[in-house]
């Protein structure tokens, strides 16, 4: 959920002002295509907060999400896929990036979508890609157009792999937030074990962060955060990420007290919001 996605929902909000914009994604793509599993860039417990932060830019409407099983659409022709959008999902309009491809073997392009959209009476708008260095938050989507250094999920992952939190922030349009299950919190610090992060962690090393905690319960194997759809109280701190994906967190300027769990099965989520420096 980066500045490119924000550009899509903002454009959709202005295109059809009476409708709620949805970000549509495809679930299970890695399993179907045999890709290596990867952690998401935004933790499941943090997505509602991010979408709520886009409300003002979307004319007062909070965007929503819709996930489609990739296995159900993988073999669809471009014509069948647009029919699904218009007839089954009842989409009144679609906004895509200029490099958008869809349909079996990526046979459809953004121009194909325009043509098919007209056949179904569905508005289609194609936006240029968002450049990395063109500003950040809700008021500045940045320079649009060109095929240079553009915002993408791949660019965010590359920045994280290099420990370039400034570059990650430019792509995201906000400070990067990393969330993990705390393995133990005593006084001004805690430990996050390998495999306990809910979204992608950066390269090994030390980082200046702002730290907060929230309790969570579990539904199956999923950690469900309490109150993470709103901002948590954050304090200055430091995190050291290990090569194995674990991390040690320390809070500066006094102690950050973890919330007391109300029930035995509830544990702590640690929220780490990264500064640009290391």
pLDDT score of 199? 96
Q: How many angstroms separate the CA atoms of 20 and 51, rounded?
A: 12
Which residue stretches of the chain have pLDDT < 50?
136-148, 219-220, 226-227, 229, 256, 258-265
pLDDT score of 80? 97
pLDDT score of 21? 95
Q: Is 192 in contact with 181 (CB distance < 8 Å)?
A: yes
Q: Name the pTM for this structure.
A: 0.85
pLDDT score of 193? 93
Nearest one of 151, 160, 162 to 272, comparing CA atoms: 160
Give Cα 91 distance to the centre of its chain.
22
Beta-bridged to residue 269, according to DSSP, are: 181, 214
Q: Give the 3-state DSSP-derived string for the chain, with helices as H, strands as E and coil as C.
A: CCHHHHHHHHHHHHHCCCCCCEEEEEECHHHHHCCCCCCCCCCHHHHHHHHHHCCHHHCCCCCEEEEEEHHHHCCCCHHHHHHHHHHHCCCCEEEEECCCEECHHHCEEHHHHHHHHHHCCCEEEEECCEECCCCCCCCCCCCECCCCCECCHHHHHHHHHHCCHHHHHHHHCCCCEEEEEEEEEECCEEEEEEEEECCCCCCCEEEEEEEEEEEEEEECCEEEECCCCCCCCCEEEEEEECCCCCEEEEECCCCCCCCCCCCCCCEEEEEEEECCCC
Q: How many angstroms separate the CA atoms of 151 and 170, rounded?
A: 8
pLDDT score of 141? 47
Alpha carbon separation from 251 to 183, 184, 215, 242, 269 (Å, rounded):
16, 14, 18, 18, 15
Q: How many angstroms separate the CA atoms of 14 and 141, rounded?
A: 15
Reported as a single tens digit per residue, the pLDDT across 54-96 is 999 999 999 999 999 999 999 999 999 999 999 999 999 999 9
Domains of the chain: 3-155 (3.40.50.620), 175-274 (2.40.30)
Task: Give just the sign of the alpha carbon dihedral 68, 7, 200, 191.
Answer: negative
Q: How many angstroms separate the CA atoms of 152 and 4, rounded?
A: 7
pLDDT score of 265? 43
Give 253's contacts (C-beta < 8 A, 6+ positions apart): 235, 236
Nearest one of 246, 217, 235 to 271, comparing CA atoms: 235
Q: What is the dihedral of CA 153, 158, 161, 165, to 10 degrees?
A: -80
């Amino acid at each position: 959920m980066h500045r490119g996605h924000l550009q899509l929902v903002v454009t959709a909000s202005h295109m059809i002002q009476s409708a709620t914009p949805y970000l549509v994604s495809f679930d299970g793509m890695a399993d179907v295509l045999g890709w290596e599993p990867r952690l998401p860039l935004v933790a499941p417990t943090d997505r509602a907060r991010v979408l709520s932060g886009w409300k003002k830019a979307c004319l007062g409407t909070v965007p929503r999400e819709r996930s489609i099983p990739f296995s159900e659409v993988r073999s669809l022709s471009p014509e069948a896929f647009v029919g699904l959008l218009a007839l089954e999902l009842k989409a009144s309009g679609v906004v895509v990036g200029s490099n958008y491809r869809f349909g079996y073997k990526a046979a459809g392009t953004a121009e194909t979508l325009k043509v098919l959209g007209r056949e179904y009476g569905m508005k289609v708008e194609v936006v240029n890609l968002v450049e990395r260095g063109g500003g950040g938050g809700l008021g500045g989507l940045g320079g649009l157009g060109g095929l240079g250094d553009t915002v993408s999920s791949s660019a965010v992952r590359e920045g994280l792999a290099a420990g370039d939190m400034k570059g990650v922030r430019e792509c995201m349009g906000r400070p990067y937030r990393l969330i993990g299950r705390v393995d133990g919190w005593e006084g001004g610090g805690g430990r996050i074990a390998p495999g306990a992060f809910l979204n992608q962690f950066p390269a090994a090393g030390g980082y200046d962060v702002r730290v907060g905690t929230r309790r969570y319960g579990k539904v199956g194997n999923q950690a469900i955060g309490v109150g993470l759809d709103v901002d948590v109280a954050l304090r200055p701190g430091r995190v050291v990420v290990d090569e194995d994906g674990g991390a040690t967190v320390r809070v500066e300027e006094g102690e950050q007290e973890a919330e007391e769990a109300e029930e035995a099965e509830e544990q702590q989520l640690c929220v780490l919001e990264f500064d640009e420096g290391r």
